Chain A
Amino acid sequence: MTRERFIDLVRAEQEPLRRFLLALCGGDSALADDLAQDTLTRAYVASGSFLGKSKFRTWLFRIAYNRYIDYRRKPIPEQSPIDVSEAMDIKSEDASDAFFRYQRLYLALDELPEKEKAAIVLFYFEDREIKEIASILGIPSGTVKYHLSSGRAHLKKHLSL
């Protein structure tokens, strides 16, 4: 695959890819974009081994999901506690508004096991078919259906609407 072809394909897929990672990362757009960049760099390095047996976007999302799982497995560095009074003074920006709009959903999604969360995100936010989700997550189609059903049940409980 030539460099120009790769860039063209990425241009078409960058928005769904970033949205997928944004949902997985609980609305942290900076982290999602960093993981997306890392995914694209890895994909470019491995582009010689892409045989075209699956769609480019399926292959790209598989790399993104694996990259996200690697990130989640890393130990999280200890953070200093947030001072609530200082946090109240922070001015609202577009990004934070968007974050709060989806906060309830992100918090509920974060309670789900990783595969369940990814299946829900791919099916409902990215409109991917069961077969494609199975290929991205590396599991059988039946298991994807099971994850979707149990994910919905878990979300119902966590969202408690």
Chain B
Amino acid sequence: MSDKNIEEFLRNSRPEVKDNPTFMLRTIQNIERVEGIKGEVDRQRSHGRAAVLAALGIGMIAGLFIAAAMILFPEASAILIKTLRDALGAIPYSLKLFITTVAILAVSLGLAVPSRRQSRTF
């Protein structure tokens, strides 16, 4: 078979695509699904952005209140600062207790989470 013959054979053997009326319908349905997912992602993004902005606003207002309180009530704020400093200073002494508490909580969570998952499965 020459090159010309094989070329002719190939050109005459173009596969025929069977009519599929549901093909475009499926395509449009898939596009709608993609649009739905895109919309959901956008909604969640805007929710996240709103939450960050709200946290920023609350933080700024709280900061302003604390600053105002420290200016208006210097004695009370001095006591508060001293208490906080004492509490922070006590951490190194109670470090062992702190680590033990965290470890117990982690183990408890580790036991509780899989048993919850199992209860959902059955």
Which residues from chain A sit less than 8 Å from chain B, CB to CB? 3, 6-7, 10-11, 14-15, 18-19, 22-23, 27, 29, 33, 36-37, 40-41, 44-45, 94-95, 98, 102, 105, 120, 124-125, 152, 155-156, 159, 161
Establish whether residues B1 and A161, one from each chain, have CB atoms under 8 Å apart when the complex forms.
yes
Interface pairs (20), CB distance under 8 Å: A3-B31, A6-B31, A7-B27, A7-B31, A10-B27, A19-B14, A22-B15, A44-B31, A44-B34, A95-B18, A98-B16, A102-B15, A120-B10, A124-B7, A124-B10, A124-B11, A125-B13, A155-B6, A156-B1, A159-B6
Nearest chain-B residue to A38 (Cβ)? B30
B87 to chain A, nearest CB (A): 52
Number of A-B residue pairs, CB cutoff 8 Å, is: 74
Complex CA gap A19/B23 in Å reads 13
Chain B 88-121: CB-based contact to A (< 8 A → 1; otherwise 0): 0000000000000000000000000000000000
Task: Report the bound CA distance from A36 to B13 in whole Å.
Answer: 21
Rounded to whole Å, the gap between the CB of B54 and the closest CB of chain A is: 30
In whole angstroms, how far apart are the Cα atoms of A136 and B16 in the complex?
A: 22
Contact B16 A41, beta carbon cutoff 8 Å: no
Interface band, chain B: 20 to 34
Question: Does B15 contact A156, Cβ atoms closer than 8 Å?
Answer: no
Residues of B participating in the A interface, judged by any CB pair closer than 8 Å: 1, 3, 5-7, 9-11, 13-18, 20, 23-24, 26-28, 30-31, 34-35
